[in-house]
Chains A and B, each alone.
Chain A
Amino acid sequence: MSVPFARLPRWVDYGLIPLVNLLVAFIVAGLVVLLVGENPLRAATILFDGAFGSGQNIAYTLFYATNFIFTGLAVAVAFHAGLFNIGGEGQAYISGLGVSLVALSLDAFLPWWVVFPLAILGAAATGAAWAFIPAYLQAKRGSHIVITTIMFNFIAASAMVYLLVDVLKPAGSMAPETRTLLPGAQLPKLNWMLESLGMSVRSAPLNVTFLLALVMAVVVWALVWRTRLGYEIRTFGFSPKAARYAGIGHSRIIIVTMMISGALAGMMALNPIMGDQHRMALDFVAGAGFVGIAVALMGRSHPAGIVPAAILFGMLYQGGAELAFEMPNISRDMIVIIQGLVILFAGALENMFRPTIQTIFASFSPRSVGLPAARGEGA
């Protein structure tokens, strides 16, 4: 017996429903703000202003968004193969090693535009290699990828602490970080882009890695929907049985997809190391790998959704920092609560309002919800 589950127009699916989810998240967050005795409307204004109020703030928002685009794409690619890569955090962290080894060894002799491509390769290779191990274990040993990637986050974190404290730290320094990179490994800022639009930017860290992130969004789109490999990945993700029937080897797809995913997560390391701090410090990933999961969920694993979702989370980071500064009652932890609510409503409870919206649409205009019909014209 077929169960009628009506479909909705695309703009509702991709526009209205995420918007409703977001709105509910902000309303609940507003209640939390009310509980600590602040005015939610003023808080919202400060948050939004802090994220988009000036060229400076926009640049910061986009700087954070850059990180989330990379990790969001990483999670999305794995999703398409039905794999849940929770290891973006560790893959990005360990890739700091690939980036800083390239940067530290070449920054004295080469200009940034030679070092940058090599550092991209370094980042991608390290991230892919780190993702390869859980992928191999899943493909050949059946060890669940969720468990192994989580464990690899811890291994990466501990390994990096050891390397930064005992190996990479310059002699005599007190801080667990590498030496400062020379101009040959410092990426150009993109402040001129915002300034050309008439906005003023003083010293924001937005840099060319943002452009790389946008390029990778296009590359991921082409990979998933336009290449043979992407076809195989999607087939495997939708139906492993159909993939087997089609002669698509499951080990190969798991390993290749996870390595691509790891490489994308790894590229995130370029942004803070070569674009902002010009050194590798402890915990430079700062949770971006986990935010990537929410970004991919919210962006429906499609680059066109991931980029705006990443900017939204960039806004929460940047605006949230301003909010914590302006309203003493609202601590950093409150901002994390707000982010958590957004993840909850936009990610985990993504389909909570769907049936209601569907009913409303069905009663207003039955024609707009074309049912998967036996002989219908479809969408």
Chain B
Amino acid sequence: MADAAIELIGINKSFGAVHANRDIHLEIPRGTIHGIVGENGAGKSTLMSILYGFYQADSGEIRVGGKPTAIRTPNDAIAVGIGMVHQHFMLVENFSVLENIILGAEGGALLGGSIARARAELARLEREYGLEVEPDAIIEELPVGLQQRVEILKALYRGAEILILDEPTGVLTPAEADHLFRILGQLKEQGKTIVLITHKLREIMAITDNVSVMRQGQMVATRVTRQTTVEELAELMVGRRVLLHVEKGAASPGEVKLAVRDLVVKDVRGVVMVEGVSFDVRAGEIVGIAGVAGNGQSELIEAICGTRRAVSGSVLLDGKPIDVTGNADPGDLRDRGLAHVPEDRHHVGLVLAFEEAENSILGYHDDPRYLRGPFLDNDAIVADAEDKIRKYDIRPGNPHLKTANFSGGNQQKIVLAREMEQDPGVLVVGQPTRGVDVGAIEFIHKRLIAMRDHGKAVLLISVELDEIRSLADRILVMFDGRIVGERGPEASEGELGLLMAGIEKKEAAE
């Protein structure tokens, strides 16, 4: 491979005591799709930030097209033809597509000329790469898949030859993801170089030419994708063998623990997000709710767990009603055996400024076990936290460490340990493995299966279709506030993907 688009030579970067990137060597051949995988905190994002000029390396050299290049700011990166599509889009929501594309490249005090030029350029890009998007559409009215396309167009408009995509499929339906991959393939054929950062190994296998694996700040291996396997990559990422598919026996559902009937929930803007949803969850089964983020799943579980008031409908816990349209109190529900692992562990499930031990009693802080009169019984709380740290292998095992200093996976374990150790009858879990590394995912999945096998009712909400398929005994697909179908765990990804995109619903309506 003579022609390298990017060469990184001996890149080092430390933040204080943490060596985020350690002597990284990487060569990305021109005109290829190069995957970079690694657990959270492995240093992928730091490396890409150095390449895009957000940070500067402590030592080492970057060569773009064979020439040593200093990249101090994102503008430098753009100047040498590096473009980046961020995980969280950097778009102005109430601007049009065209306005977003020229943002930062207006080229003068008056917009008229640059808009006309951009329109012509956009038409050319659309023709060349099949990136159709209505130039005058307002960003917030576009689906996420198209918003992402605008991000890509933005980079191409600035003349990007090398495109970095950070976790691009997190927000997409399987169909949208497939479309993205086709676009990336076309870009590659046109000679562009693409760097894809992801934790989804399947995507790596599907579209990359080469793949590099990072672990603990080091580049541990680079493979030609055709010559490697998912199992090998997972093992390289974690440093040990990983069970990618949870083994579980058949479910033996018992009595109905949680019954949801005709639930209607609005969000803060007053938009109806859940439109008459009904289902049951029985003891000893995991019911999974699949769907693209933003189709009402979040509001649904918040209403069930008493953190959002429902408009109408009812929920029965062990046959007795929960006052979901009135003053359902999450504290009371905990006492009644409903535990809740919320989707947003940073703002809801945990108080990041608290010590680990303080978070290990959140919601159970009025349990007499943790109290001496009006005072907190610190000895009991810390002993209890240490016990959970051991059982759930939470690292570092220091109950006095600030929660913000734990990794995503360990933070999630803190929440899971707290909710599962109360031995609830019903467990509602939202996005249990979002932002969690591979090793911890395996652990969390095993725990959820163990809960089920102990006869608990588990309601699982996840945007990871793989997770739903490997854990759930029954899969409900949510689209636009309704449950549009129920399938067994053997349902194919394509079938579920169509349901998630609301295809069947449309056909039925016609």
Q: Which residues of A contact B (CB under 8 A)?
A: 1-2, 4, 6, 222, 226-229, 231-232, 234-235, 238-239, 241-242, 244-249, 362, 366-379
Confirm or deny: B244 has a beta carbon within 8 angstroms of a beta carbon on chain A: no
**Stretch binding the partner chain, chosen from B97-105, B140-148, B200-208, B399-407:** B399-407
Interface size class of B (residues with CB under 8 A): 35 or more
Other A-B contacts than A6-B15, A371-B15, 16 sampled, CB-CB below 8 A, are A228-B375, A231-B376, A232-B365, A238-B352, A238-B353, A242-B348, A242-B349, A245-B363, A246-B330, A247-B306, A249-B329, A368-B16, A374-B41, A375-B407, A376-B18, A378-B402
CA distance A222 to B372 in the complex (A): 13
Q: B342 touching A245 by the CB < 8 A rule?
A: yes
- With CB as the reference atom, state the residue of chain B lying closest to A244: B307
Q: A366 touching B16 by the CB < 8 A rule?
A: yes
Q: B16 touching A244 by the CB < 8 A rule?
A: no
Scoring A4, A249, A374 by chain B CB atoms within 10 A of each residue's CB, the highest score goes to A374
CB distance from A40 to the nearest CB of B (A): 39
> Can you list 29 A-B pairs with a CB-CB distance of less than 8 A?
A2-B45, A4-B16, A226-B375, A228-B365, A229-B374, A234-B354, A235-B354, A239-B348, A241-B344, A241-B348, A244-B348, A245-B305, A245-B363, A246-B363, A247-B331, A247-B332, A247-B334, A249-B329, A369-B17, A370-B16, A372-B404, A373-B41, A373-B405, A375-B216, A375-B407, A376-B18, A376-B396, A379-B401, A379-B402
Chain A residues near B306: list those with CB within 8 A.
Answer: 247
Q: A6 touching B376 by the CB < 8 A rule?
A: no
Confirm or deny: B40 has a beta carbon within 8 angstroms of a beta carbon on chain A: yes
Chain A residues near B14: list those with CB within 8 A.
Answer: 366
Confirm or deny: B503 has a beta carbon within 8 angstroms of a beta carbon on chain A: no
CB distance from A230 to the nearest CB of B (A): 8
Give the contacts of B328-384 with A (CB-CB under 8 A): 329-334, 340, 342, 344, 347-354, 358, 362-363, 365-366, 371, 374-376, 378
CA distance A44 to B4 in the complex (A): 66
- With CB as the reference atom, state the residue of chain A lying closest to B362: A246
- Cross-chain pair count, CB within 8 angstroms: 124
Confirm or deny: B96 has a beta carbon within 8 angstroms of a beta carbon on chain A: no
- With CB as the reference atom, state the residue of chain B lying closest to A240: B347
CA distance A52 to B371 in the complex (A): 45
- With CB as the reference atom, state the residue of chain A lying closest to B54: A1
Chain B residues near A6: list those with CB within 8 A.
Answer: 15-16
Ranked 7 nearest A-B pairs via Cβ: A247-B331, A374-B41, A246-B363, A4-B15, A371-B16, A369-B16, A374-B407
Chain B residues near A244: list those with CB within 8 A.
Answer: 307, 330, 348
CB distance from B456 to the nearest CB of A (A): 20
CA distance A105 to B358 in the complex (A): 47
Chain B residues near A4: list those with CB within 8 A.
Answer: 15-16, 20
Q: B307 touching A245 by the CB < 8 A rule?
A: yes
Chain A residues near B329: list those with CB within 8 A.
Answer: 247, 249
CA distance A234 to B366 in the complex (A): 15
Chain B residues near A362: list those with CB within 8 A.
Answer: 16
Confirm or deny: B49 has a beta carbon within 8 angstroms of a beta carbon on chain A: yes
Q: A378 touching B398 by the CB < 8 A rule?
A: yes
Confirm or deny: B395 has a beta carbon within 8 angstroms of a beta carbon on chain A: yes
Chain A residues near B351: list those with CB within 8 A.
Answer: 234-235, 238-239, 242
CB distance from B83 to the nearest CB of A (A): 16
Interface string of B1-35 (1 = CB under 8 A from A): 00000000000001111101000000000000000
Chain B residues near A228: list those with CB within 8 A.
Answer: 365-366, 371, 374-376
CB distance from B157 to the nearest CB of A (A): 23
Interface string of B238-260 (1 = CB under 8 A from A): 00000000000000000000000
Binding site secondary structure of chain B: loop
Q: B348 touching A370 by the CB < 8 A rule?
A: no
CA distance A370 to B348 in the complex (A): 26
CB distance from B398 to the nearest CB of A (A): 7
CB distance from B277 to the nearest CB of A (A): 21
CB distance from B84 to the nearest CB of A (A): 11
Scoring B17, B349, B396 by chain A CB atoms within 10 A of each residue's CB, the highest score goes to B17
Chain B residues near A379: list those with CB within 8 A.
Answer: 401-402, 405
Chain B residues near A242: list those with CB within 8 A.
Answer: 347-351, 362
CB distance from A83 to the nearest CB of B (A): 17
Chain A residues near B350: list those with CB within 8 A.
Answer: 242
Q: A371 touching B402 by the CB < 8 A rule?
A: no
CA distance A229 to B378 in the complex (A): 14
Q: B395 touching A375 by the CB < 8 A rule?
A: yes
Chain A residues near B340: list those with CB within 8 A.
Answer: 245
Residue in B54, B330, B354, B407 whose beta carbon sits within 8 Å of that of A245 in the complex = B330
CB distance from B412 to the nearest CB of A (A): 13
Residue in A246, A367, A368 whose beta carbon sits within 8 Å of that of B365 in the complex = A246
- With CB as the reference atom, state the residue of chain B lying closest to A366: B16
Scoring A231, A235, A244 by chain B CB atoms within 10 A of each residue's CB, the highest score goes to A231
Q: A228-B374, A244-B307, A247-B331 are in contact. Are A235 and B362 (CB under 8 A)?
A: yes
Q: A238-B354, A245-B342 are in contact. Are A373 and B376 (CB under 8 A)?
A: no
CA distance A369 to B16 in the complex (A): 5
CB distance from A226 to the nearest CB of B (A): 5
Chain A residues near B347: list those with CB within 8 A.
Answer: 239, 241-242
CB distance from B13 to the nearest CB of A (A): 10
CA distance A374 to B402 in the complex (A): 12
CB distance from B131 to the nearest CB of A (A): 25
- With CB as the reference atom, state the residue of chain B lying closest to A222: B375
Q: A378 touching B348 by the CB < 8 A rule?
A: no
Q: B330 touching A226 by the CB < 8 A rule?
A: no
Chain A residues near B332: list those with CB within 8 A.
Answer: 247
Residue in A1, A222, A231, A376 whose beta carbon sits within 8 Å of that of B45 in the complex = A1
Q: B401 touching A378 by the CB < 8 A rule?
A: yes
CB distance from A357 to the nearest CB of B (A): 14
CB distance from B305 to the nearest CB of A (A): 8
Q: A376 touching B349 by the CB < 8 A rule?
A: no
CA distance A371 to B347 in the complex (A): 21
Chain B residues near A245: list those with CB within 8 A.
Answer: 305, 307, 330, 340, 342, 348-349, 362-363
- With CB as the reference atom, state the residue of chain B lying closest to A374: B41
Chain A residues near B396: list those with CB within 8 A.
Answer: 375-378
CA distance A350 to B331 in the complex (A): 38
CA distance A373 to B217 in the complex (A): 12
Q: B374 touching A227 by the CB < 8 A rule?
A: yes
Residue in B17, B87, B352, B376 whose beta carbon sits within 8 Å of that of A227 in the complex = B376
Q: A247 touching B18 by the CB < 8 A rule?
A: no
CB distance from B367 to the nearest CB of A (A): 10
CA distance A221 to B13 in the complex (A): 41
CA distance A6 to B18 in the complex (A): 10
CB distance from B77 to the nearest CB of A (A): 15
CA distance A249 to B17 in the complex (A): 41
Chain A residues near B45: list those with CB within 8 A.
Answer: 1-2
CB distance from B501 to the nearest CB of A (A): 29
CA distance A228 to B344 in the complex (A): 24
Q: B376 touching A226 by the CB < 8 A rule?
A: yes
Chain B residues near A376: list those with CB within 8 A.
Answer: 17-18, 396, 405
CA distance A371 to B13 in the complex (A): 13
CA distance A372 to B405 in the complex (A): 5
